[in-house]
Chain A
Amino acid sequence: MEAIRNIHGAINEHEVKLFALSTCGWCKKTKKLLEELDIEYLCIDFDLLSDDDKKTIKEELKEFNPAISFPTIIIDQGEEVIVGFKEDRIRDVLSHED
């Protein structure tokens, strides 16, 4: 599996980046929710990156989430940052459901 994948979805008004681990259960829940909400996003499985990419991407993640934890969703280059599988917050910020 590619470490960085673009996941297609019908809702693409925000730039959504998910920093995840392929082994993490909460990350998997986050991926499932984004897919269920049909949101277009860039999925980065940090643990599958090359050692060089890990160093670069760690710095990017740290800028928005100093705890360097997974999953972290960065929306529109940091306009919104959601750390952890916060289902309600993800729905509020990204979906059109009422």
Chain B
Amino acid sequence: MRTEEDMMEYVEEKADEKGYFICPDDDLLFDLIQGLVDNEGRYGYPSCPCRQASGVKLYDSDIICPCEYMDADVEEYGMCYCGLFVSQKINEDPDELKPIPERRRPEVIEAGMDAEPTEDFHSEEDIPVWRCVVCGYLAARELPPPICPICKAKAERFSRFEINPGR
């Protein structure tokens, strides 16, 4: 299991890869790093410290740090939901570091919270396939991706793709 120092290194590396900066508020940064370490200890993966993970990885895959919402949030608000990754602008003006709205959809949050850790996982061929109606991108996963990685359409633009619709 990673220590706080390891986690900090991991986060710095991820920020570098994206051209982002890490949280300019040292107290907040310390708490978030601690939260990531706690979550990794609990669930086996570092889920967003400011979100409730389900403990069922299939339901939490969108909120493993760095989460799937990070890019859209840094673009729109200059920071990710937790405030761990920020834009250059917020890095230079830390007073602008303020809580932002939750982009993760309530149905997705609730599905995770209601998931039973013991429930049978879908076998691989049972995992639903989602199709982006805007660009045709296909994703096999429990829930549609929050944002299409190709055309950035939102989750509600995904529909269930039936491989054998005639049956």
* A residues in contact (CB < 8 Å) with B: 21-29, 46-47, 54-55, 58, 62, 66-70, 84-86
How distant is the Cα of A29 from the Cα of B31 in the complex, in angstroms? Answer: 10
Does more than half of chain B's interface fall in helix, strand or loop, or is it mixed? helix
Q: How many of chain B's residues touch chain A, expressed as a range?
A: 20 to 34
Measured CB to CB, the closest approach of chain B to A33, in angstroms, equals 12
A28 touching B31, Cβ below 8 Å: yes
The stretch of B7-15, B34-42, B123-131 that contacts the partner chain: B34-42
Asked if B155 CB lies within 8 Å of chain A CBs, one says no
Number of A-B residue pairs having CB atoms within 8 Å of each other in the complex = 67
Asked if B28 CB lies within 8 Å of chain A CBs, one says yes
Please give, as numbers and ranges, the residues of chain A lying within 8 Å of B51 by CB-CB distance: 21, 69-70
Known: A22-B38, A25-B31. A85 touches B110 (CB 8 A): no
Measured CB to CB, the closest approach of chain A to B63, in angstroms, equals 12
Give the 4 A-B CB pairs with smallest separation, nearest first: A23-B35, A25-B31, A84-B99, A23-B49
B38 touching A68, Cβ below 8 Å: no
Known: A67-B102, A85-B99, A86-B99. A26 touches B109 (CB 8 A): no
How distant is the Cα of A89 from the Cα of B49 in the complex, in angstroms? Answer: 23
